[in-house]
């Protein structure tokens, strides 16, 4: 009966293989994103939306998926509500919500965007991207991540869409 000693060749090989596996696992984990807030900072929001002078509320939540939320009061988003004979302007906060879905693909993207009532294909944003005006929402796919970028910073649809594209391109530039 042969006994394995601590110095056996087989034991040294296993230790080396384990170190390699551990190193690969650790480097893969360090590349994994946990939140879209890691990609879009408060400073990015201040610069993209030119809102440095406003107090910006920030949330990093896990709702259904990890979500990064930025809100501020600049009176650019409002609803007109008719009450009796008078029209009242109801000011809403400007907001940017970024939802990140990991390990996704074209099928999941298509399933997610199927609910869009007014889909507009946006070219040159990730592998594929669709804007929905009704939801003020851009969904794009890039490097096995899907992001939903909701931007409501104006009552003008084109302005919201353009800013959503800008935020999306920032994210794409930072994904490893």
- In this predicted structure, what is the pLDDT of residue 11? 44
pTM above 0.85, yes or no: no
Fold classified for 36-174: Protein Transport Mog1p; Chain A (3.40.1000)
- In this predicted structure, what is the pLDDT of residue 85? 85
Query: What token pair was written down for 150?
Result: 């909701």
Average the pLDDT over 103-120 and give the result: 95
Q: What percent of the chain has pLDDT over 70?
A: 82
Average the pLDDT over 2-19 and give the result: 44
Query: What token pair was written down for 167?
Result: 């935020």
Q: Is the pLDDT of residue 139 over 70?
A: yes
pLDDT per residue as tens digits for the range 20-59: 434 433 434 446 889 999 999 999 999 999 999 999 999 9
The CA-atom distances, in angstroms, between 111 and each of 40, 104, 154, 176 are 25, 11, 28, 25
Q: Is the pLDDT of residue 176 over 80?
A: no
Q: What is the DSSP letter of 43?
A: H
Q: What is the dihedral of CA 104, 106, 108, 109, to 10 degrees?
A: 100
Q: Is the pLDDT of residue 4 over 70?
A: no
Average the pLDDT over 123-140 and give the result: 96
């Amino acid at each position: 009966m042969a006994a394995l000693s601590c110095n056996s060749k087989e034991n040294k090989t296993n230790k080396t293989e384990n170190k390699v596996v551990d190193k690969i696992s650790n480097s893969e984990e360090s590349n994994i994103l946990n939140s879209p807030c890691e990609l879009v900072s408060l400073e990015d929001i201040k610069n993209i939306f030119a809102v440095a002078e406003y107090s910006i509320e920030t949330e990093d939540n896990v709702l259904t998926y990890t979500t990064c939320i930025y809100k501020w009061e600049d009176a650019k988003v409002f609803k007109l509500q008719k009450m009796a004979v008078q029209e009242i302007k109801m000011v809403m906060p400007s907001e940017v919500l970024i939802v990140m879905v990991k390990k996704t693909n074209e099928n999941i993207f298509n399933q997610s965007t199927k609910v869009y009532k007014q889909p507009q294909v946006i070219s040159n944003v990730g592998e594929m991207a669709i804007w929905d005006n009704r939801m003020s929402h851009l969904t794009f796919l890039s490097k096995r991540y899907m992001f939903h970028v909701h931007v409501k910073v104006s009552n003008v649809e084109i302005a919201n869409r353009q800013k959503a594209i800008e935020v999306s391109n920032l994210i794409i530039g930072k994904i490893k």
